[in-house]
Structure 1
Amino acid sequence: MNKKKLIICIAVILLVAGGVYFFTGKSSKGGIKLETAKVSRGSITNTVTATGTVEPVTEVEVGTQVSGIIDKLYADYNDVVKAGQLIAEMDKVNLKAELASAQAQLASSKSEFEYQQKNYSRSKVLYEKQLISDSDYETATYNYEKAKAAYEQSQASMVKVNRNLEYATITSPIDGVVINRAVEEGQTVAAGFETPTLFTIAADLTKMQVIADVDEADIGMVEDGQRVSFTVDAYPNDVFEGNVKQVRLGDSSSSSGSSTTSSTSTVVTYEVVITADNPDLKLKPRLTANITIYTMERENVLTVPTKSLRFIPDESLLTPMDITVTNANMEASAGKRLVWVKNGQNLEPRAVTIGSASGNNTEITDGVQEGEDVVVDFASVANVPVVAETTEKSPFMPGPPGSNKKNNKAK
């Protein structure tokens, strides 16, 4: 019984050794085999990466057109404000004094105007009756026109003073949230050539936009409406979605005369505006975003590895594998490419039409069927057949178990 089991075990070992030799030694002679891939359905995508800054869609800087001291502040960071709501007041002492002076000047000029108007009316009647000289009439006319101009100037000054007094009461121009306050109570602001900013108000933080800087080499692929995904360092595990809203051509009045948004040395970038919803208010103004713009997306299309389109069969490598090649000299017609389909131990060429490509994979519109095996390339394998040991061994080196018995029998 033991002898019978021993014979069965030896037979099994021989069968396993033969299989190893057949699949490793014969079909991959020299450590070479064929790498294949199945024609399958998948997605083809091309992307452009960039960095940008998260910004509110509508952002208003609230300033003042009059110089003075900030008397009261009624809004602070993160406060929700309504359009027309009082958010700050400036000291009005000087402005009220200017108003009083303007009112006095207006009253004086009005009295002078009314007096000269009556004098002019009397002089006109007398002149028509030739009771006064031309010189007297011209003097009356001159004084009337002068008083009239002074009165109109005083009226204009009153409008300006009243408006400056209104400017001292600062209200919110929009509904929104205060995202920046640049002044403190008691601080002096000077409205000269540039209006000083007091507050920055964002209209609606549930709707944000990302201003991305896209390299000039990639901008040609970016179009309005393309899908965008991006992440921010504040929430590294969250992926936010958006769409390209605008590709800005830049300022044509730039010193270089080009249509670039920014240029540093030889690097030219264009601004791309991306809209994004922010319902949970995670996206905050000024966050840095790492952006992926999907410039091309095709779903559920037949794809093959791009390398398979460059494969050329080498019969010197295929013959030891017992693989035959059909129509080895076939050439693709215009607009077609060749792929090699493996059917058992035979390779046959197929002329295919390619569509979109994404680097590693290429879309195939016709010529092959889903599930067929296409040859990608020759590949080396680690299971190279073991060569029988022929080197001479030292008699003093220990051998494997049982080797002493064989030696004794030989003796």
Structure 2
Amino acid sequence: MSSSRRFLWLLAVLALVAGLAWYFWPTEKAPEVVTAAVERSDIEDSVTALGTLEPLNYVDVGTQVSGQLEVLHVEEGHQVEEGQLLAEIDDTIYLAKVEATEAQLENLQAQLADREATRTLARLQAERQRNLIKLDATSQEAVEQADASLRSATAQIAALKAQIRQLESQLKEARADLSYTRIYAPMSGTVVDQLANQGQTLNANQTAPIIVQIADLSTMTVRTQVSEADITQLKVDMPVWFTTLGQPDVRREGVLRQILPTPEIVNNVVLFNALFDVPNPDGKLLPQMSAQVFFVKAAADNVLTIPVSALQPVQQRPGAGAGKRYTVQVLENGQPQHRVITVGTMTRVSAEVLEGLAEGDEVVISGGTSAPSTAERGQRRPRF
């Protein structure tokens, strides 16, 4: 066999081997198409944060006088009414001050009566001397001395009256201090904290010692700490709801009342306090409870929804109105087909469908590229 024929034969064998290898070589499988059905559900776009419950109305009940806490009539958890006696401080010193001041006041009032009698006598003598001087029956010196005695008696009376007013003021203060030894509830509510014990000596010279704290638990405030990244999304009067650790399935709703302008810095994180109130008729919300809070930016009930992963952005048309336009792939006759839809409320997981899809449609969320057909694969095979 000539060399040229051997070369042709070898070339044919190589071509046959190459063809068989191409035909039987495993090809890359087309990605599996994963779909999700368009279904009806509720959707909510919200900002989440952690909060702490506290009473809307509360008061720290303290004492304005120092002394031993002689009797404490209440303890934590007690229900009290406005005006109810809560505690008594030893009043021995304050009662003694009142009695001593009253005695001093009585002494001055007696002196005043004596001076008024003296002034009356001085007035009569002055009038008598004036009448006698008209008859040349007395001297001018006697008249002047009588007038001076009248003026002196009048001045002494004025001084005593001033002392009496001063002492009356001291008596009023002493009686007030005495009244402060009995401490009454300034409001109706629940004793939520007790900071002093019976028999304890309280010093009110610098600060007013707190004995108990009373709170109205019928309405609670949720103090929520919101990060600086989310605080701009909050607006006063926006709806808000929360759950507690003890009742994770109970949703309690409210309205954002206030955003405090001064932040708190915790571990170098800037947090702003957002406050809202919630009724507590069953009394199950207690101070210092933790709350998982959701500030609702947008929400829709019983609407068509699809996973956000199915959306592909498209260029928005100017003046398109409500909603945003996206492209999705919809299974039609088993094949993914592109379709432009309009969505409304969106979260990180779901999107509300306003236009372009019907309930039950299947949208592609992954693997939307179709596998090549047999004809296409055959076209790529070498011919020999």
For residue 198 of structure 2, what is the aligned residue in structure 1?
A: 185
Long gaps (5+) in structure 1: 1-27, 250-258, 313-330, 382-411
- Paired with 1:240 and 1:338, the residues of 2 have a C-alpha distance of 33
Structure 1 residue 237: deviation in Å? Answer: 5.2
SS of equivalent residue, structure 1 residue 150: helix
1:339 matched residue in structure 2: 327
CA distance in 2, matches of 1:241, 1:181: 29
- Give the TM-score, by structure 2 length: 0.72
- Does residue 219 in structure 1 map to residue 231 in structure 2? yes
Structure 1 residue 86, shift from structure 2 partner: 1.7
- TM-score between the two structures when normalised by the length of structure 1: 0.68
Q: What does 1:6-405 correspond to in 2, within 5 Å?
A: 30-116=29-115, 126=126, 131-132=143-144, 139-140=152-153, 142-203=155-216, 205-222=217-234, 223-224=236-237, 226-232=239-245, 235=246, 238-249=249-260, 259-264=261-266, 266-310=268-312, 333-334=317-318, 335=320, 337-340=325-328, 341-344=330-333, 348-378=337-367
Gap regions ≥5 residues in structure 2: 1-26, 131-139, 371-384
User: Given that residues 240 and 256 in structure 2 are in contact (C-alpha distance below 8 angstroms), is that contact kept between their aligned partners in structure 1?
Assistant: no
Distance 1:228 1:366, change over 3 A: same
Report if aligned partners of 1:242, 1:277 keep a CA contact under 8 Å in 2. no
Q: Percent identity?
A: 29
Question: Does structure 2 retain, via aligned residues, the 8 Å contact 1:240–1:276?
Answer: no
Distance 2:316 2:218 in 1: 55
Q: Which has the larger radius of gyration?
A: 2
**Structural RMSD (CA):** 3.3
Q: SS state of the match for residue 291, structure 1?
A: strand
Report the alpha carbon displacement of residue 171 of structure 1 after superposing the two structures with TM. 1.7
Structure 1 residue 150: Cα displacement = 1.2
Q: Mark the CA change 1:186 to 1:296 in structure 2 (over 3 Å): closer, same or farther.
A: same
Moved more, 147-156 or 266-275: 266-275
**Aligned partners of 2:227 and 2:326: how far apart in 1?**
35
Indicate the SS of the match to 1:53: strand
1:349 to partner: Cα distance: 4.3
Matched position secondary structure for 2:357: coil
| C-alpha distance 143-284 of structure 1, shift in aligned 2 (>3 A) | same
Q: CA deviation at 1:261?
A: 4.1
The CA deviation string for residues 183-202 of structure 1, in whole angstroms up to 9 with x for no partner, is 22221101123211111122
Deviations along 1:353-376, whole A, 9 cap, x unmatched? Answer: 332211222223223333333343
Distance 1:120 1:51, change over 3 A: farther
Q: Is the 8 Å Cα contact of residues 258 and 276 (structure 2) preserved in structure 1?
A: no
> Structure 1 residues 301, 198: CA separation in 2 closer, same or farther (over 3 Å shift)?
same
Query: Could you report, residue by residue, the CA deviation over 1:237-274 in whole angstroms, capped at 9, with x for unpaired residues?
Result: 5535231452232xxxxxxxxx2242236422222234
